[in-house]
């Protein structure tokens, strides 16, 4: 049952990355490329009917984490308290940036909320990438000092950074050169993803420019991915051991590769949705590859005193996991119905939706 709920949790997070990921990317495009009012409205119209529903997936992931892996929930929500609060505030500013802009028609008012929306989207993309880097790198579980655990085995707390900015320091921070690098990868990947969504859902005058942006950023993304595979060896001595032991898992890196190759052809596609499909493949494949590379760990320990948190030593009791199955399938059915209705109602181009206008 632990493995089933692990797959459910990873599946929900993958859906969140794809759906809210294009919201983040659209916000970044809005910040740097949307110069005219028409283009700004096209971008907000493209995500307007979807962004708040997309956020619900992260709440669902938190619910599954709380229910199925309570020890991991308790450990991570206390240890990552500072960045989680920052992410919460960024989500709030992104939301009110979208909702408040149209309340008053004045250039200064609109500029303030445009910047709030764009900057919050950029920082959210960065922080979620940094969060993934922290999980890959691991944390000092039990706050071990001089070989002695000073706290409970699953407890830790991280400042935003450490003086050395090193992922191998005794006193780790949220931000170091490794986690920041993955944050930059996240920003580039989600910008591409958001651009593909705008191309898919609008007839904006930006679309031709966005195809060129996607092509150029994809070159940057490929270089960053290659570098990330190299520096991974500084964090994990054998980063590919799960793939070697279970060759079927190479499916996920293959998915990532197909996604990034497909993005190089974005300027030639006749169907606007193909670029979004390939960026989705890259995001899901990359996230899944990262998850299975550390499996069964869900939060590695950087010391040898306390064991890593795994899906087995953080899971709830067997009775609770089994009882949750009934509610999960009911919720899954309702969510599928909701998504079908939502995406059918808002199918096609969204330029004329006029989201946020008052």
pLDDT averages per 10-residue partition of the chain, 358 residues: 94 96 96 90 91 91 93 92 92 90 85 94 96 92 86 89 86 92 97 96 92 96 94 83 92 96 93 95 96 93 91 91 88 90 86 67
Q: What is the pLDDT of residue 59?
A: 92
Count of positions (residues) in the chain: 358
Q: What is residue 70's predicted lDDT score, i.e. its pLDDT?
A: 94
Q: Measure CA 348 to chain center.
A: 25
Query: What is the reported pLDDT for 184?
Result: 97
* Contact predicate 281/256, CB 8 Å: yes
What pLDDT shows up at residue 218? Answer: 97
Residues in a beta bridge with 324: none
Residue 171's pLDDT is what?
84
Query: Are the C-beta atoms of residues 19 and 54 closer than 8 Å to each other?
Result: yes
Residue 306 structure tokens: 């306390």
Largest CA distance in the chain: 63
Rounded distance between C-alpha atoms, residue 50 and residue 332, angstroms: 18
Both tokens of 342, joined, read: 């939502």
Residue 170 confidence (pLDDT) = 80
Inter-residue contact 314 to 69 (CB < 8 Å): yes
pLDDT of residue 107: 86
Instruction: For residue 310, list its beta bridge partners.
Output: 297
| Pairing mode of beta strands 309-310, 297-299 | antiparallel
Q: Give residue 356's pLDDT.
A: 64
- Per the structure block, which two tokens stand in for 336? 């599928």
User: How far apart are alpha carbons 55 and 121 in whole angstroms?
Assistant: 13
Q: In whole angstroms, give the CA distance from residue 285 to residue 243.
A: 14
**Per-residue model confidence (pLDDT) at position 262:** 96
Tracing tokens 């966005």 back to the chain, one arrives at 210
User: What's the pLDDT score for residue 357?
Assistant: 62
Q: Which residues of 201-236 are buried (b: 16+ CB within 10 A; e: fewer)?
A: bbebebbeebbebbbebbeebbebbeebeeebeebe
pLDDT for 76: 93
- Distance CA(37)–CA(42), nearest Å, equals 9
In the prediction, which pLDDT does 58 show?
Answer: 93
| C-alpha span between 163 and 250 (Å, rounded) | 38
Q: Which pLDDT score is estimated for 106?
A: 84
Beta strands 148-149 and 144-145, pairing class? antiparallel
| DSSP-assigned states of every residue in 198-242 | HHHH---TTHHHHHHHHHHHHHHHHHHHHHHHHHHHHH-SSTTHH
Strand partners, 139: 301
Distance of alpha carbon 123 from alpha carbon 56, whole angstroms: 19
């Amino acid at each position: 049952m632990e493995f089933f709920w692990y797959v459910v949790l990873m599946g929900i997070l993958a859906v969140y990355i794809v759906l809210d990921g294009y919201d983040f990317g659209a916000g970044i495009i809005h910040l740097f490329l949307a110069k005219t009012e028409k283009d700004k409205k096209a971008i907000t119209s493209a995500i307007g009917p979807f962004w708040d529903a997309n956020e619900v997936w992260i709440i669902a992931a938190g619910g599954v984490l709380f229910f199925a892996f309570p020890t991991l929930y308790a450990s991570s929500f206390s240890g990552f308290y500072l960045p989680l609060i920052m992410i919460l505030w960024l989500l709030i500013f992104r939301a009110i940036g979208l909702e408040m802009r149209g309340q008053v028609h004045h250039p200064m008012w609109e500029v303030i909320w445009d910047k709030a929306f764009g900057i919050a989207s950029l920082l959210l993309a960065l922080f979620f990438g940094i969060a993934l880097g922290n999980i890959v790198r691991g944390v000092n579980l039990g706050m071990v000092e001089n070989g002695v655990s000073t706290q409970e085995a699953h407890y830790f707390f991280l400042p935003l950074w450490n003086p050395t900015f090193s992922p191998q320091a005794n006193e780790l921070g949220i931000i170091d050169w490794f986690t920041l690098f993955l944050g930059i990868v996240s920003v580039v990947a989600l910008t591409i993803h958001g651009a593909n969504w705008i191309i898919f859902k609008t007839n904006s005058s930006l679309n031709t420019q966005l195809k060129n942006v996607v092509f150029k950023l994809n070159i940057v993304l490929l270089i960053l991915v290659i570098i990330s595979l190299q520096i991974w060896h500084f964090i994990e001595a054998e980063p590919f051991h799960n793939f070697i032991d279970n060759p079927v898992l190479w499916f996920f890196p293959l998915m990532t590769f197909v996604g990034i190759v497909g993005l190089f052809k974005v300027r030639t596609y006749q169907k606007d949705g193909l670029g979004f499909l390939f960026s989705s493949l890259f995001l899901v494949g990359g996230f899944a590859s990262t998850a299975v590379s550390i499996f069964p760990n869900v939060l590695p320990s950087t010391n040898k005193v306390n064991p890593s948190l795994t899906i087995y030593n953080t899971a709830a009791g067997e009775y609770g996991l089994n009882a949750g199955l009934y509610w999960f399938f009911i919720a899954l059915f309702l969510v599928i119905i909701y998504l079908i209705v939502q995406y059918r109602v808002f199918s096609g181009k969204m330029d004329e939706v006029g989201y946020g206008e008052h």
